[in-house]
Structure 1
Amino acid sequence: MIVATSGLTKRFGRVTAVDGVSLQVQEGVRFGLLGPNGSGKTTLVRMLLGLVHATSGSIEVLGEPMPRRARTVLPRVGALVEGPAAWDHLSGRANLRLLDAAGPGRARHRRRRVDAVLEQVGLGGVDRRPVKAYSLGMRQRLGIAAALLREPELLLLDEPTNGLDPRGIQEMRALLTSLNEAGTTVVLSSHLLTEVEALCTHVGVMDRGRLALSSELGALRTPTGRVLVRSPEPDAVVGLLDGQVVDRRGDTLTVRGAEPAALNARLVSGGVRVTGLTEERRTLEQVVLELTGTGNDRVDRRPREAVVPGRSRGAGGPR
């Protein structure tokens, strides 16, 4: 296993941020750690890197115990946690050269390696302006570049698409997929379900510090028992199926209780043209909402006590 934890717990005073998490991440996967804000995702990632020490439980990263073997493990890991850090008065290229200088035996290849990772993340043409003049998206790209400097076996990324525009998100997804296909295991934490669903092969769901679920993504998206039908003749579909259509949006209709092949045969035999027919499956959003609460950043207003007009609370109030 690339990552393995057992009974991992972290308490900050009376607050339990991570509660008995036993997680396994296999080599070569793209693993997404999902959950509402405050669910313990970032604290878990920080413990994997040895930045926060566990209250109890055990951690192994790349087959080594953490944080005891951090000096052996961390040179093989690229990480971005809680936003990119940088010397703001220096350029992005100068930042990376300083970071790369901390690695052993790399002086001869430093300039070439820095140029390569800047190109990978879409900053190949960056000028000498200081990092303090960068946009949030540029800073995020620079943080990813720093994580790639040592050609890591494992990437641990916290909200890697934060600050990126839609094109930047698409480019980052393509980059992480290509790195993974070349042999790098990718573990990322995010609250963006659509990004995890588009990128990851496996998913873990955190809720109130606990690991509510860990599974291959495909195994979660089970059939709903409904079929999505596309037809240029939606009225004919409704008439033929007589009450089985439960939703209609333009030329797409949702049909309940039907087996796709049999449904297609029925429509075709009834003279209805069909341009698309797919089995509906649960979305990752549905799975996560079923498993998690409202999140720890929500503050609801408590219902006020009703007051009978003309009567004060001190005079008996409502009963």
Structure 2
Amino acid sequence: MSTVIATRGLAKQYGRLHAVDGIDLDVRAGDVYGFLGANGSGKTTTVRMLLGLVLPTRGEIDLLGERMPRAGRRVLPRVGALIESPAAHGHLSGRENLALLDAAGPGGSRRDRRRRVADVLDQVGLGGVGRRPVKAYSLGMRQRLGLAGALLRRPELLVLDEPTNGLDPQGISEIRELLLELHRGGTTIFLSSHLLAEVEQLCTRVGVLDRGRLVLQDDLAILTAPTGATVVRTPTPERVRAVLDGRVAAVDAERVVVSGGDAAEVNALLVRAGIPITGLAPDRPTLEEVVLAAAATSADRVERAP
């Protein structure tokens, strides 16, 4: 599988502040890559370096197999991007803004340009907005317009920085479905976000940035794989503890974590003992638990450093 984004020792320093501190990203063709981290962790700085908008203090960047920023003129037309708040001319409509943006794009007849603009507006749910000026748009509508601009050139790689910012739950769901559709069509997506629940539903691979350092990078399926324990939900957790003496690893209200064995074996033992069960499933960590553990480990390393 070819590599779409690769960085080696990528760093950005502002005076004494290490905004990004020697990270090695590995984004492969076909990934929906979730780039996670708290506000101020260095995500946006990293995205801006990937696109040649900020020069790194040190390190290397390969985008679509070519060195950045040297190959920017060849590479960037194959990349769609939405970074921070999308820029637009407030007195113009969304359609007019996109027409201006498309004028610097791949060319074609006036009819082709109009069709491209209409298609991306429909994709992001702005097809019926009409001539309303962008200055009258809500934050969520502006975000949709920015995403439409990123899609104009039908990019091989889509780089998005907090693309659901300002959207309501329905809007977030619609953008998620759009991104999944683009992914099914062959687009590789690099998605910077702090919304763990959205990333967990959308991404195939994740990287976690903490205080400028990449503390975790792996396939989501590996990070959230079953632990080998079983989660039992029951109104009588103490009876489960009594029956499975020594195998109960944790009890949280009506949730009991049982180590060893498989779910079928645990179920058979509890049913035989007449214990009511309302739920039974393999134990697996959530993405939130994985991210918090990685950040805590990173903090511990920093505190122990001489």
Q: Same fold (TM over 0.5)?
A: yes
Q: Work out whether residues 18 and 210 of structure 1, in 8 Å CA contact, stay in contact via their aligned partners in 2.
A: yes
Q: Work out whether residues 230 and 280 of structure 2, in 8 Å CA contact, stay in contact via their aligned partners in 1.
A: yes
Cα distance per residue 1:67-120 (max 9 Å; x no partner): 111111111100000111111110111101110111132333111111111111
Following the alignment from structure 1 to structure 2, what is the Cα–Cα distance between the partners of residues 37 and 232? 40
Q: Work out whether residues 231 and 258 of structure 2, in 8 Å CA contact, stay in contact via their aligned partners in 1.
A: no
Instruction: Name the structure 1 match of 2:13.
Output: 11
Give how far 1:11 is off: 1.3
Instruction: Name the structure 1 match of 2:251.
Output: 247
Cα distance per residue 1:265-294 (max 9 Å; x no partner): 21233344545311111111112112226x
Following the alignment from structure 2 to structure 1, what is the Cα–Cα distance between the partners of residues 242 and 18? 56
| Partner SS, residue 65 of structure 1 | strand
Instruction: Name the structure 2 match of 1:221.
Output: 224
Following the alignment from structure 1 to structure 2, what is the Cα–Cα distance between the partners of residues 242 and 21? 46
Q: Work out whether residues 238 and 245 of structure 1, in 8 Å CA contact, stay in contact via their aligned partners in 2.
A: no
Name the amino acid aligned to 2:259: G
Name the amino acid aligned to 1:4: A
| Partner SS, residue 283 of structure 2 | strand
Q: Work out whether residues 35 and 292 of structure 1, in 8 Å CA contact, stay in contact via their aligned partners in 2.
A: no
Following the alignment from structure 1 to structure 2, what is the Cα–Cα distance between the partners of residues 175 and 165? 15
- Larger mean CA deviation between 220-229 and 86-95 belongs to 220-229
Instruction: Name the structure 2 match of 1:278.
Output: 281
Q: Work out whether residues 232 and 258 of structure 2, in 8 Å CA contact, stay in contact via their aligned partners in 1.
A: no
Following the alignment from structure 2 to structure 1, what is the Cα–Cα distance between the partners of residues 38 and 9? 21
Give the 5 Å matches for 1:162-177: 162-177=165-180
Instruction: Name the structure 1 match of 2:271.
Output: 268
Instruction: Name the structure 2 match of 1:76.
Output: 78
Give how far 1:121 is off: 0.7
Instruction: Name the structure 1 match of 2:202.
Output: 199
Following the alignment from structure 2 to structure 1, what is the Cα–Cα distance between the partners of residues 238 and 20? 53
Q: Which runs of 5+ in 1 are unaligned?
A: 296-319
Within the candidate set 141, 144, 163, 1:141 is matched to: 144
Determine which structure has more spread, i.e. the larger CA radius of gyration. Answer: 1
Following the alignment from structure 1 to structure 2, what is the Cα–Cα distance between the partners of residues 4 and 77? 15
| Partner SS, residue 13 of structure 2 | strand
Q: Which runs of 5+ in 2 are unaligned?
A: 299-306
Q: Work out whether residues 157 and 187 of structure 2, in 8 Å CA contact, stay in contact via their aligned partners in 1.
A: yes
Following the alignment from structure 2 to structure 1, what is the Cα–Cα distance between the partners of residues 215 and 242? 44
Instruction: Name the structure 1 match of 2:162.
Output: 159
Name the amino acid aligned to 1:186: I
Number of residue pairs aligned between Structure 1 and Structure 2: 293
Give the 5 Å matches for 1:1-319: 1-106=3-108, 107-224=110-227, 226-230=229-233, 237=240, 240-241=243-244, 244=248, 246-247=250-251, 249=253, 253-259=255-261, 260-272=263-275, 274=277, 276-292=279-295
Q: What do you get for the CA RMSD once the two structures are aligned?
A: 2.2
| Partner SS, residue 5 of structure 1 | strand
- Which 4+ residue blocks in structure 1 deviate beyond 6 angstroms? 232-236
Name the amino acid aligned to 2:19: A
Give how far 1:137 is off: 0.5
- Larger mean CA deviation between 98-107 and 273-282 belongs to 273-282
Following the alignment from structure 2 to structure 1, what is the Cα–Cα distance between the partners of residues 185 and 277? 40
Q: Work out whether residues 8 and 59 of structure 1, in 8 Å CA contact, stay in contact via their aligned partners in 2.
A: yes
Q: Work out whether residues 8 and 25 of structure 2, in 8 Å CA contact, stay in contact via their aligned partners in 1.
A: yes
Name the amino acid aligned to 1:247: V
Following the alignment from structure 1 to structure 2, what is the Cα–Cα distance between the partners of residues 262 and 281? 18
